[in-house]
Structure 1
């Protein structure tokens, strides 16, 4: 089995023992620098990263193939990509860049395997009379229309 396949196999075996964790990204450079980015339904702890690292490192022989390994959690600056990532952020504000390059920001209220639903709150001119009115509406956005989605950090 080649080096990359072996890393994939070891990582998948580890993730089978931890169904609350999932792989966001795995990069293996030509110089054998391995970067693993994990996320979890309840977040990722330092111990989770250590366990994943050990699952790979303790089962590879550096005498045969030398490598460097980094295992990290998907931070708030990382875009949301998978339904599981969106699901764990229900109730939070997210900023979405759509495939037509327009932007939408709202509270994530629902997630399924095809789309997300965000609650938009904005002001618009009244339909009858002068002035403005507050509007709250839910908007469905299919994953296919999402170019990039980030959790909005509010202090």
Structure 2
């Protein structure tokens, strides 16, 4: 059976050339290989085709039959790897925590263990009657996050 490690080894150099990275590689029981990519400047169809052709040139269908799909990480898809947080600094995201709390804000920082967002929150003023919009900053360790998705805006 074709392994994830085999696919990673095949595409590693080409991904570096194209300034892309692997978000996910899955191999189904029927040997359908799905490679999901992302990059700082997105992923072009041309890059997907180049990676697909590279994998096909290195694997022998006569030895082991397989299906192959090479895709970009979709805009509406949750982030799957830490590097996606870094390339989305400055972008509005929706964060869902494991405890069910949701936050919507702009990623301002992303490290290896956590990331931070800035968001607006209405806070009760000292008079106890009026609310004021205040900018907040909150940091989240990746291990408490259920999902993070980029917010798509059509403004």
Aligned to 1:11: 11
Q: Distance in 2 between matches of 1:118 and 1:112?
A: 12
RMSD across aligned positions (CA)? 1.6
Aligned to 1:125: 124
Q: Write out per-residue CA displacement over residues 59-95 of structure 1, whole angstroms, 9 at most, x where no aligned residue.
A: 1221111111000000111111222211111111110
Are the equivalent residues in 2 in contact too, given 1:38–1:44 (CA < 8 A)? Answer: yes
The 5 A counterparts of 1:42-121 are 42-121=41-120
Q: Write out per-residue CA displacement over residues 23-74 of structure 1, whole angstroms, 9 at most, x where no aligned residue.
A: 1111111211111101112211111111111110011221111111000000
Q: Distance in 2 between matches of 1:44 and 1:21?
A: 7
Q: Distance in 1 between matches of 2:122 and 2:6?
A: 55
Are the equivalent residues in 1 in contact too, given 2:24–2:80 (CA < 8 A)? Answer: no
Q: Distance in 1 between matches of 2:2 and 2:92?
A: 40
Q: Distance in 2 between matches of 1:76 and 1:107?
A: 15
Q: Distance in 1 between matches of 2:142 and 2:2?
A: 33
Q: Write out per-residue CA displacement over residues 88-133 of structure 1, whole angstroms, 9 at most, x where no aligned residue.
A: 1111111011011111111111111111111110212212353111
Of 5-14 and 45-54, more deviation after overlay is shown by: 5-14
Are the equivalent residues in 2 in contact too, given 1:41–1:84 (CA < 8 A)? Answer: no
Please list every run of 5 or more consecutive structure 2 residues that lacks an aligned counterpart in the other structure. none
Please list every run of 5 or more consecutive structure 1 residues that lacks an aligned counterpart in the other structure. none
Are the equivalent residues in 2 in contact too, given 1:34–1:68 (CA < 8 A)? Answer: yes
Aligned to 1:31: 30
Aligned to 1:153: 152
Aligned to 1:136: 135
Q: Distance in 1 between matches of 2:76 and 2:93?
A: 12
Q: Give the deviation of 1:9 after TM superposition.
A: 2.6
